[in-house]
Structure 1
């Protein structure tokens, strides 16, 4: 079963509506119940919002076959660092790193990337990994992306520096950002090929919370030509988000 899940994720194949509907319905119910008890999102209920910059390296030969990846550029980023289950203190938890790359597709057209603490190996890059230390390993999209004519996973690898020992408690993440910028090397890889760098991410000081609610990231709505997530898990994710909104009193 694990091998089948990995193979499906790597190829971008869908599980089909007949198989996914019961799982999506269960995800909706669980998320709705959990959000109602918390009066907060079912997953990633609390986080640290911060500003940043993404510098795309670009290529001389168009080898990514994706306009945004092949063209050098610098973009403003709004990021949210969060704990997946919202466990207290510095208890190990899966960590989320949500990125909104402003104007990546032109004025008013952002790119959203949802990254989760994971491994770096062929299987581990598709699985969430709880951590004691926030910067002890990569954050990956888990779900593969269509990048031109290939299917690849995208990941952010933290650079070594003064933040190596930062634990996963949200106050510790906030203090780390106040002390110095946190830097990541963004890479992509398909099955059977090495990780290849395509951009540098710098996260800076914490940002104030939005006046109404929080930033809502959606990698399916905010994608780019030639760079989009595969459909695997889309229905499950949408059901969970819908249940979470409904549990907090919003529309399902």
Structure 2
């Protein structure tokens, strides 16, 4: 990636020194203590959704795939614009023999497609705002999934959402430094860009983060894309769909800001 690329600033810090302490600093301290997002549920999502042909966009150190421990026959592709990330993650995941692709998710992906699953874990908050721009990444990933392929992941939400004082301090610092670009990222905005490319969307609030899972279409369904900007409620809890192995749904139950069910009047 060229230094003049707008995405470079958010990637430049991922050097060998940071990657060496990434698991401790980002996953064990920042995620748990600051963002209040425990890592085990994220690993559980990998175990639930990771398919036979899997694309991991922004794989970090490879921690999530290693701890999800998919079958050794799983075909894994790692995609990132940063060669340091690809080298570190591919070495850690050598048992699966991953394919590495140095590419930017904001541009058309140099892939043939046919992936059963794709992960976008804690990448969206690094992409350039506004949310309508981040929708490009979602569309690019959707284009390489099978018709019933699953996209899942998580992102840190912006300052318009509820946060602890510590989380707000780090959000301010990371946005000023340039590693984050998510001041205006909201659950509503996230749902909008996911729903534009996927038929069924699930979003779960976890501390300062939003964890999401979405599928293009159930077997036999077709999709008529809905334009960005349609009105939705601010927070959601999915209703389960019987007979679905993914546990995704089209309908949602509104929550209040504390994540509790709103009582109908």
Query: Shorter-chain TM-score: what band?
Result: under 0.3
In terms of fraction of residues, the more strand-rich structure is 1
TM-score (norm 1): 0.26
Task: Between the two structures, name the one with larger relative contact order (CA 8 Å, sep ≥ 6).
Answer: 1
In terms of fraction of residues, the more helix-rich structure is 2
TM-score (norm 2): 0.25
